[in-house]
Structure 1
Amino acid sequence: MSTPSTDTLLDDDLLARVRGRAADYDARNAFFAEDLEELGERGYLRALVPIELGGLGWDLVDMVRAQMRLASAAPATALGVNMHLVWTGVARLLHDRGDDSLDFLLREAAAGEVFAFGISEAGNDLMLFGSGTVADPQPDGSVRYTGRKIFTSLSPAWTRLGVHGLDTRSADGPKLVYGFIDREDPDVRTLDDWDTIGMRATQSRTTVLDGAAASADRIVRRLEPGPNPDPFVFAIFACFELFLSSVYAGLAQRAIELAVDAARSRTSKKTGRPRSEDPDVRRRIAEAALALDGVAPQLTSLARDVVEGVDHGAFWFAKLSGVKVRTVETAREVVDRAVRVAGGASYFAGHELGRLQRDVLAGVFHPSSEDAALSTIANAWLGPVAD
């Protein structure tokens, strides 16, 4: 049986249903449960799993394209499922390089488990390189985690949560310990605290860990705090930045489509001609299209470089953080121009462009921030600042 393409799996009928539910999820601040069910039935959640392990065998390039397509219908749905795709992407990259430490994740994703990302913590700008969560090693090799993780997308649906914490008790410490905990763990609590102005359907609630345990066979890394060359860290960063950027690229593409529809459907009272013939409207749409035109090729090119193991050396993190910032800023610019074309109707909460304008704002809060990206890029080109 042939593997479905991104356009086949995410066909127009499915995207129409997903788009049709997006406004209701947003209005009710509800989770995208029906979308997740349909995507799961189509095999989207196991798309990155190798065929021999029960998946579709897609690579990162396929997923970048697919996430752009899904986000054009429902950005919050795409952003929410992104976290599961990041983990399966990490596991796939390691698997392809001969590292089977996360093969259990690939097999479980193929069996229907849903993985979420429990890394973000309030005030922790170290992200992957530090943690305020306590990782407490146990005699049986398991680790108990105590702390709070914010922005846990897929909160109502995840069955496995990838987390990290700092172990300061072991003789070889301190060490950042990465592991996976189960939903059924009684020491995991999910707060009902997600009430944002955008990306509402992700339901990225706060997760409280009160000694939640990852068994010894689910501890996947013990790393020195701080920047680390481990392929596991690189894989997380690459998948996170590329898939995240794809969501905002797809959102921006939809904004241009809505601007074009608005321009064609409105007539100027002053001239009696369609707004699509107004030179100011044409300029705004052209500027938006020009700004977005280079985003998708760069995303797919970088994804292909990751898959093929291209060596960008010290510039890898600069390229990945840079493409995230550039994509998000471009998406914000595109949506702003689209709103100006569509006019006051887009200011109403139920208007799709109004929702996109709220959703695109979330992009600035995801890592890498603009400041962090610029620091990374400066270090790549100039070297670090001397102490």
Structure 2
Amino acid sequence: MPATDILTPDLLERLRSRAAGYDETNSFFTEDLEELRAAGYLALFTPVAEGGAGLGIPDVVASQRLLAAAAPATALAVNMHQVWCGVAHLLARQGDDSLAFVLKEAAAGELFAFGVSEPGNPAVLFDSHTAARPTGDGGYAFTGTKIFTSLSPAWTRLGIFGKDTSAPEDPRLVFGFADRGTAGITLADDWNTMGMRASQSCTTRLDDAVVPAARMVRTTPVGPHRDAFVFGIFSLFETLLSAVYTGIGDRAVQLAADAARGRRSPDGVPASADPDTRWKVADAALRMDGAGLELDALSRDLEEGTDHGSYWFPLLSGLKYRSTETARGVVETAMRVAGGRSYSRGQELERLYRDVLAGMFHPSSEDSVHASVANAVLGPVE
């Protein structure tokens, strides 16, 4: 099933029509989620035989880009569900069915959230401040704090990880999925941000929240490594995140063009005929062309299993950095083209500007991207 059969023009227009209201009231995108679930959007990665669309990474990336152009905060939040489904898809292509249940449950309407980010943890997936205590039967009890947990009001499955130090000489990171309603999971109502407001990415607190053995899916060492599961999380997160911000940039170019056609000088000449305005719109479109080409290429490489070796990490973190920075600059250009009215509340470009700024705060950070590329090009500091 092509993604355009799901994200129809009518559906996208309804999503776009609600985005401003969610932003204004700082409320969750409940109606959007209901429509996307009913349309089968939660099962894009699920094989057709299991009730899904059977899409690969490039097509899901294109879908998220399209969704973000209509409703950025909705797309960003749904991204977290698609990351887990994408990891399951990527592992399955390698003969690992350990996350097959994710794809099946997604087709049944379950919503997977991303409980990974922690305050003060720059190592992200390679270490954790969350304690994971073995329960003795293969399960774990998790205690810690997770931040930026998108989909907080609605997720039904929460992917979490923590550190098991029961063998101090060999600490391990453990990953599992908790059901909503699990004792010890508390969701704070603390999301009141500048942008991406409808994502409702609230803080999640874990207090001996038990994940049973059947829902524990991976153990890895602490510190950098190349485990396929963790690489899957990192690669899908960076790629799908880049799709969202590229979609915002796409929309900004369209709004800039619309504004140029609609504005006129005192003598009635449209701004679209002004050489400086034309240059600005063209420059924004050129930047988005480059961002889109890189996103498409790396999405295809992931799907096809291209071996970039250790350079995968600089490539993916660089993709995220360039896509978010490019989109931010393109939105700024669009606002210059549209003029001062774009600075007023209620204008779509004003909302896009606030939304696009969130790209600075997702991993990989500006510093870590440059450190990763420097190590790849120059070698580590001795």
TM-score range, shorter chain: over 0.9
The whole-number CA distance in structure 2 between the counterparts of 1:78 and 1:334 is 19
Q: Deviations over 1:313-368 (max 9, x none)?
A: 11111110001100111001100000011111111111000000000000000001
Q: 1:340 aligns with which of 336, 340, 345?
A: 336
Post-superposition offset of 1:383: 2.1
- When structure 1 is superposed on structure 2, of 142-151 and 287-296 the one drifting more is 287-296
Alignment of 1:12-27 (within 5 A): 12-27=9-24
Matched, 1:204 2:201: yes
Match of 1:273 in 2: 269
The amino acid that maps onto 2:367 is D
Q: 1:364 aligns with which of 353, 357, 360?
A: 360
Match of 1:100 in 2: 97
Match of 2:27 in 1: 30
Alignment of 1:162-241 (within 5 A): 162-170=159-167, 173-241=170-238
The whole-number CA distance in structure 1 between the counterparts of 2:347 and 2:168 is 58
Q: Give the conservation status (yes or no) of the 8 Å contact 2:183–2:210.
A: no
The whole-number CA distance in structure 2 between the counterparts of 1:303 and 1:263 is 33
Matched, 1:78 2:75: yes
Post-superposition offset of 1:111: 1.4
The amino acid that maps onto 2:106 is A
Q: 2:287 aligns with which of 262, 286, 291?
A: 291
Alignment of 1:37-186 (within 5 A): 37-170=34-167, 173-186=170-183
Q: Deviations over 1:174-217 (max 9, x none)?
A: 10111111111121110000000100000000001011111101
Q: Give the conservation status (yes or no) of the 8 Å contact 1:137–1:170.
A: no
The whole-number CA distance in structure 1 between the counterparts of 2:49 and 2:125 is 31
Post-superposition offset of 1:171: 6.7
The amino acid that maps onto 2:294 is Q
- Calculate percent identity across the aligned residue pairs: 57
The amino acid that maps onto 1:36 is L
State how many pairs are aligned. Answer: 382
Match of 1:378 in 2: 374
The whole-number CA distance in structure 2 between the counterparts of 1:103 and 1:72 is 30
Q: Deviations over 1:68-120 (max 9, x none)?
A: 10001010010010000000000111111111111121221121110000000
Q: Give the conservation status (yes or no) of the 8 Å contact 1:187–1:212.
A: yes
Match of 1:244 in 2: 241
Post-superposition offset of 1:172: 6.6
Q: 1:305 aligns with which of 292, 301, 307?
A: 301
The amino acid that maps onto 1:265 is G
Q: 1:253 aligns with which of 227, 236, 250?
A: 250
The amino acid that maps onto 2:230 is V
DSSP 3-state at the match of 1:210: strand
Q: Give the conservation status (yes or no) of the 8 Å contact 1:64–1:243.
A: yes
The whole-number CA distance in structure 1 between the counterparts of 2:228 and 2:43 is 22
Q: CA RMSD in A?
A: 1.0
Matched, 1:317 2:313: yes
Q: Give the conservation status (yes or no) of the 8 Å contact 2:257–2:281.
A: yes
DSSP 3-state at the match of 2:367: helix
Q: Give the conservation status (yes or no) of the 8 Å contact 1:346–1:352.
A: yes
The amino acid that maps onto 2:340 is G
Q: Deviations over 1:146-168 (max 9, x none)?
A: 00100000000100100111110
Runs (4 or more) in structure 1 with deviation over 4 Å come to none
DSSP 3-state at the match of 1:221: strand
The amino acid that maps onto 1:132 is H
Q: Deviations over 1:113-159 (max 9, x none)?
A: 10000000111111001110000111111101000100000000100
Q: 1:349 aligns with which of 338, 345, 352?
A: 345
Q: Give the conservation status (yes or no) of the 8 Å contact 1:118–1:150.
A: yes
The amino acid that maps onto 1:379 is N
Q: 1:10 aligns with which of 1, 7, 10?
A: 7
Post-superposition offset of 1:52: 2.7
Structure 1 residues without counterparts, runs of 5 or longer = none
Q: TM-score, structure 1 length as denominator?
A: 0.97
Post-superposition offset of 1:382: 2.3
